[in-house]
Structure 1
Amino acid sequence: MKPHLLLIDALNLIRRIYAVDMNQKHHNDEQMIQTCSARVAQACKKLLSITNATHAIAVFDGDKSWRYHFYKDYKHSRAPMPDTLKEALVHFKTAIEDTGIVVFEPENDEADDIIATLACKAASNKVSNTIVSTDKGFLPHLGADITVYDYFKKQYLDEHSIKERFGVNKNKLVDFWALAGDKTNDIPGVKGIGAKSAQQLVNNYNTIEDALEDESLSPSIHKKLDANMQMYVISKQLVSLRSDINLGFSLKQLRLN
């Protein structure tokens, strides 16, 4: 059987299931957590079946990643994890492990960077893999051996859906986000450049440097770019997922029993 690696963005899956369960009628928090843990385990079993995975891992976030040190306002407006959920994460980890999936929680790295590293390393060795997440940050890595699956919409994301959603091609996403910013993660982008201007820039020019050298570029756009190039560079680094993290384990250790 040809190997296939399942990569689950654990908190992305848990928090979305928890958000639904929190609004259901339960006798108490303990019962809610038990129900929610069971639903997460059931989701993992479905994902194993859907992807025909031979290897699998669910990755959690570590403590403050390099992005928090690199840019002090990173995710500063995001609501903290509810205490009830935070205190119950151990139950979710056990529920996932009971399905045979390896659980990994790095010390300081974000799950996104770990997953991107695993996906790229697997793909470089011709091992196909599926990333399960609703996080758009994985989309630039879509390729012949890397797919992204939205468990909640029950669909694989592709280049057509990227173009439809963002108005740019897959290979232009990082530049697009670096220009327009990303409010969900408090990544600023270039001041005064909205989504429409960002789309036009990345669709019309190979690089932002090319745009700045074009004498026909709108003077107001040129002024905004020229004044905010440092923030563009910072934003580009923030929206780019790392794929070079030293993980300390091999694909063999992720084999399903």
Structure 2
Amino acid sequence: MSGQLLLIDALNLIRRIYAVDSNQNKGSDEQMIITCCARVAHACEKLIKITQASHAIAVFDGDKSWRYHYYQHYKSSRAPMPATLQNALDKFKHAIEQTGMVVFTPLNDEADDIIATLAHKMADNQLCSTIVSTDKGFLPSLNNYINVYDYFKKEYLDHAAIEKRFGVQQSRLIDFWAMAGDKTNDIPGVKGIGSKTAIEIISKHADITQATEDETLSPAVRKKLAAGMTDYITSKHLVALRTDINLGFSLKQLRLN
């Protein structure tokens, strides 16, 4: 295989477009879904052109992934998908397939892990891919072969933008989220450690476990770290995307029709 692989986080794209269309909807739900499907398909066609992709796939989430079994509170406070959207997912999948793009829904895995696996397989073979998503979880994967593109801001993410947004280097994002937590996904982090303290600790330590012995940190912070190390390890597993999912298909099968 040669060329550029386009990897679309399908529900991320659909839900963002649906949110705008549903707020502006003045007709029936059926007509709104038709319009929304057309907008999603148009977005996919634009993304193929923008990335000059030779291969492409739109990935949906499977049922409860390993994270739900590993940590019972994972995404527990997240609002369910609107019924109108849930019932129309097959229509969205068909609309995307009409662009010539492969649509894939795993049995149990999350789209993020599937996309990360594909992107890293490409990178291992010195081939380029572009991930299209506003999900920050993809940012640790950014490298010379893996790009991340925000369709709604019309921009590629880079290391400077990441450091400006989070206050840490891209290579330390997983440590940062594991320590400070991630409320959007109900990932606990270390209790009592916020973003500011997490940034301070990360700037001083490549190995977070060493921070519990750092006397330049306040006794209160060291105590919180020692007490929260189990949650830190749990959180680190949750925020890190897997890159070893057994896909069941080859990259060659993703060539655009």
Alignment TM class, shorter chain as reference: over 0.9
Report the 3-state secondary structure (helix = DSSP H, G, I; strand = E; otherwise coil) of the residue aligned with 1:22.
helix
Q: Which residue of 1 aligns with 2:136?
A: 136
Separation in 2 of the partners of 1:38 and 1:221? Answer: 52
Q: Which residue of 1 aligns with 2:220?
A: 220
CA drift of 1:25 comes to: 3.1
Q: Which residue of 1 aligns with 2:16?
A: 16
Contact 2:214 2:222 in 1 (8 A): no
Spell out, residue by residue over 1:52-92, the C-alpha distance to the aligned partner (whole angstroms, 9 max, x if none): 00000000000000000111110010000000000000000
Contact 2:213 2:222 in 1 (8 A): no
Spell out, residue by residue over 1:119-151, the C-alpha distance to the aligned partner (whole angstroms, 9 max, x if none): 000110111000000000000010000000000
Structure 2 length as normaliser, TM-score?
0.98
Separation in 2 of the partners of 1:190 and 1:27? Answer: 47
Structure 1 moving runs of 4+ over 3 Å: none
CA drift of 1:2 comes to: 5.0
Q: Which residue of 1 aligns with 2:167?
A: 167
Report the 3-state secondary structure (helix = DSSP H, G, I; strand = E; otherwise coil) of the residue aligned with 1:74.
coil
Separation in 1 of the partners of 2:52 and 2:33? Answer: 28
Cα RMSD (Å) of the superposition?
1.0
Separation in 2 of the partners of 1:2 and 1:71? Answer: 39
Range 19-28 or range 71-80, more displaced: 19-28
Report the 3-state secondary structure (helix = DSSP H, G, I; strand = E; otherwise coil) of the residue aligned with 1:62.
coil
Spell out, residue by residue over 1:217-253, the C-alpha distance to the aligned partner (whole angstroms, 9 max, x if none): 2211110000111000000000000000010111110
Separation in 1 of the partners of 2:119 and 2:125? Answer: 10
Report the 3-state secondary structure (helix = DSSP H, G, I; strand = E; otherwise coil) of the residue aligned with 1:233.
helix
Count of residue pairs brought into register by the alignment: 257
Q: Which residue of 2 aligns with 1:210?
A: 210
CA drift of 1:203 comes to: 1.2
Segments of structure 1 that go 5 or more residues without pairing to the other structure are none
Report the 3-state secondary structure (helix = DSSP H, G, I; strand = E; otherwise coil) of the residue aligned with 1:152.
coil
Whichever residue aligns with residue 79 of structure 1, its letter is A
CA drift of 1:209 comes to: 1.6
Structure 1 length as normaliser, TM-score?
0.98
Report the 3-state secondary structure (helix = DSSP H, G, I; strand = E; otherwise coil) of the residue aligned with 1:191.
coil
